[in-house]
Structure 1
Amino acid sequence: MPLAACFDPNTSAAEGAETGSEDDVTAEGTQGEGDSSSSAGSSEESADTSESTVTGDPDECDASSICVDPVPDGWNGPVAHDVTPASQNPSCGEGYSMTAVTAASELDPGAFECGCSCEATGASCPTSGTLEIWDLDGCSGTPDHTVVLSEANACQSITGNLPTSLSDDGGSSKPLALDWFGMQPSAILGGTCQAEISADIGPAAFEVEYLICEPAGSLPACAISEGLCAPVPASPLEPGVCIWKAGVEECPAGSYSNKVEIYGGIEDSRSCEGCDCGDPVGECTATINLQELDDNDCVGLFTVSAEDCTPSDTADVELATFNPGEPEASCDGEGVAEQVGEVAASEPYTLCCTD
């Protein structure tokens, strides 16, 4: 029974046990491989999620921020702004602590008035004057006789070579009575007209001040493509997030649609010019004193000026003295100063804001 002796039931059982163990190991390894494959799939999904560049939750900004459109090329922002009357000082606020631009609007040009005053100086008066004499009919028409008094402030005879009609007794050198006396106006001589311009200009000033403020650091992205989570402007800042650009521009398409033009400076070229005063004109306050001769002295009877027509009545007029008087001069120019130049806001900025 040698075959029987070769069979060892313990050995077969052990081998069976070993064979069973190998089957068990193979099953556990397959399950492990299946578990490994599932884990790798989750890892890829995590890797895909980690490729996003959004900081934090990409679906919304935090409670203190608002998602705004991206800033177009060539523009600056996002920013916020404070607006105050010129008498106050605008300031930045929370979330927008850095000053980007200081500007203003609503230009008040101030006063612009030009004046011109003219003064005639250096005029003098003639040293001679002309006496005019009429007969009984008064001072109308051409005088019946004129006498040139060639020396100032000197008593001179006026009875020589008189028309006989003017003398009571028909003599050419007799005293004049019952006649009318006047004198020719005495025009000023020489002089110049001095012009003086007065100018009341400005100062021009803005009535409203703007302070454009920007965040201190970079802003996180939000759900809108390339959009940003900008801080919600809080007092003293105006509502609305803005962008800005130097120069006068149209607001770009999109949410930044509310346009404000503001300015960084003022150009003022205003002045007053002209003031042509012309030349001096006028008359002197000249007079002629009509006199009679009494013991070889010139005794005054009455005085005439260019505005007078005075009768001698019964007085015997023989002499006259010319008084040059003082010049009363003015200027014959228009004396008008012209406004030249203009004032305008300069260094413009365009501010475009959301609603």
Structure 2
Amino acid sequence: MTMWRWARREKRGMVLASGATAVVLGAWAGGCGTTDHWLCPYDPEPGIKDYPCLVSWDAVDGGDGADACGDAGADAGDACAEGGAGADFDSATVPGFDPNLRETCTGQCVPREPLGWSEPALVWIGPPDRAPDCPAAAPSVGYEGHADFTAAAPPSCPACQCDPPDASCELPAAWSAYASFPCDVPGAAETPFAAPEGWDGACTSASAIAAGQMCDGAPCAQSLEIPAPRVLPGSCVPRTAESPEGPEEPEGAGSFALFARACTGTAFAPCADPGMICTPAPPTGDAAPPERFLTCVYHEGEQDCPATYPDRHVFFAGAEDTRGCAPCGCGEPIGGSCSVLASAFSDGACSQFAVGVVVSSAAPLCTGIVPGTALGSKSASVVSLDPGACAPTGGEPTGSVALLGAATFCCRPEPIPDPVPA
């Protein structure tokens, strides 16, 4: 029966045989007190003291453990003395140990990760409400992410409207008398009958034309031209048309149907094949969750998978929802119009009526008067004003939902389960 003895030395292990290739049996994390034992195919670096290791003395000379300690040299003898005879036990009690020294991994040997990828980890994928804790073999959470995203309905954008512009009607001030009728006879003399600048339409005697005043041998006042009033556009105030139910509250970005948790453990012993690496094995039987753990390697971003880990899964750290509604605005006012009542009087106090017309902003107006009539004063007032309208802008949906923090997990194919006995 091959016997094993606990021993300690100044390095991480002990040479198996004097002058032979260094082969050391050790344990991860828990030391020799755990059941995860392994053989080191090299003599590790110096400087780490009192690292517990398990050494097969009988493999050296076929003797019992005590004789082997004696043959191993003074250093080994001292180390063996620390263990005591009561530390002997059968190699069969070491899980995963290969007596032929070809394989010492107590987890699973899987292909090494490609350059730039993480070491293999155990990854659970399933509904978020069923996520298990990391198993004992890989107790540390190395990553958590999400997949299979369904966006929520976008916010309901209200219709934009614009209040009428605060427009005004500018009264025409540059009136003129012509020595002809109509006003546009070529060569007819024009005599200004203008109101003061900034005129508000009140009675004014500015630019009066006396009765019988002559221009080039003809009465100066035979017709009166009044320019078209002008609509002074104002600004429109935007607003939203509220529905009877009120504005709809946003529902958030959405939800992920799948959750991923990657679990990492301590490093295990090397595998016999240098192209393989020892990693924790997924839990089986009653210890396994409803969705089993997969063995996967990890890379940030969206990547293609290597041949040794062909099953691709992309997960995300979360989602950012920038959806909203464009703010309401208003275009320039269009379609405004106005009209004014323009009156001329023969006296200077707007009491002796001479002529009165309604002038639209669409065009100037020329009206005939009795030739030689005095134009002593005038007045004007706004009759109608259509301020026009502004076309509403905005209110359309904006933004989008972006998935953040992509990460690619490439996994080993799931093993085909053994057939259930009939």
After TM superposition, the score normalised by the length of structure 2 is 0.42
Higher relative CO (Cα under 8 Å, sequence separation at least 6) belongs to 1
Rg larger for = 1
Higher fraction of helix: 1
Higher fraction of strand: 1
After TM superposition, the score normalised by the length of structure 1 is 0.48
